[in-house]
Amino acid sequence: MAFFNKGFGRKRESVANDRIPPGQYETRDFPVLTAGPTPRIPLTTWSFTLEGLVESSVQLNWDQFNALPHQSFTNDIHCVTKWSKLDTHWEGVSIDTLLEQVTLKPEARYVMAYSYGDYTTNIPLDDLRNGKAFVGLRYEGLPLAPEHGGPARLVVPHLYFWKSAKWIKGLRFMEHDQPGFWERGGYSMYGDPWREQRYRSDD
């Protein structure tokens, strides 16, 4: 019995290890991490804006946003508080699809994602394109719950989960990198879980 448990444990560990970044542990829960109250956004007033270094900014209401092509995504997510969750299933709109709605100015290299409730987070533009990120509308087959960022949240699975802004309201395209909410508080400007870039001093 002891032998069996040991062998089983080892196998599980080796399967998970190449998907769990350094310093992280796997959880089956979906913890809620929010700095402040959960904003409630009626779909009748919800909007999403693409602005900054674009030829002309675009604002989409809920119906217009939902009329864009949707895709399914399966991703592992990694929170800087050390939990990782494997194989999360989402449906939403790829950032590539959103970028087709605007003409970017050539200087655009960074993005500030901003949310209802004033949360912000900065991400290099190249980390949002080519299938790397999306705006999630459904999670595990259901509309995204308010505490997890519903009606719509950014999901950037290859970076620590604080880059995945809940209650997303828009993307601002910028020439230079600028710190968002947690980044101003000393967190990494980039946040690569595989390089364990938790704090600015890890960059």
Ligand X SMILES: Nc1nc2c(c(=O)[nH]1)N[C@H]1C(S)=C(S)[C@@H](COP(=O)(O)O)O[C@H]1N2
Smallest distance from ligand X to CB 10, Å = 29
Of 98, 103, 94, the C-alpha closest to 49 is 98
Site string for ligand X, 26-55 (x = CB under 6 A): ----xxxxxx--------------------
Q: What angle do CA 93, 90, 121 make, to 5 degrees?
A: 65
Residue with smaller CB distance to ligand X, 94 or 164: 164
**Can residue 58 be called a binding residue for ligand X (CB under 6 A)?**
no
**Can residue 159 be called a binding residue for ligand X (CB under 6 A)?**
no
Site string for ligand X, 163-182 (x = CB under 6 A): -xxxx---------------
Interacting residues of 13 by C-beta distance below 8 A, sequence separation 6+: none
- Is the CB of residue 141 less than 8 Å from the CB of residue 86? no
Of 155, 148, 152, the C-alpha closest to 95 is 155
Interacting residues of 164 by C-beta distance below 8 A, sequence separation 6+: 77, 149, 153, 154, 155, 156, 157
Residue with smaller CB distance to Mo ion, 80 or 98: 80
Residue with smaller CB distance to ligand X, 110 or 161: 161
- Is the CB of residue 140 less than 8 Å from the CB of residue 88? yes
Residue with smaller CB distance to ligand X, 20 or 106: 20
Smallest distance from ligand X to CB 3, Å = 38
- Is the CB of residue 83 less than 8 Å from the CB of residue 135? no
> Which one of 162, 183, 188, 193 is in contact with ligand X (CB under 6 A)?
162
> Which one of 134, 161, 173, 190 is in contact with ligand X (CB under 6 A)?
161
Spatial distance between the Cα atoms of 145 and 9, rounded to a whole number of angstroms: 34
Selected range binding ligand X among 11-19, 21-29, 101-109, 159-167, rule: CB under 6 A: 159-167
As given in the structure block, the two tokens for residue 124 are 């290099």
Q: Which residue is nearest to ligand X (CB)?
A: 119
Residue with smaller CB distance to ligand X, 50 or 163: 163
As given in the structure block, the two tokens for residue 148 are 């997890």
Where do contacts with ligand X occur on this chain (CB under 6 A)?
A: 30-35, 79, 115, 117, 119, 148-149, 161-162, 164-167
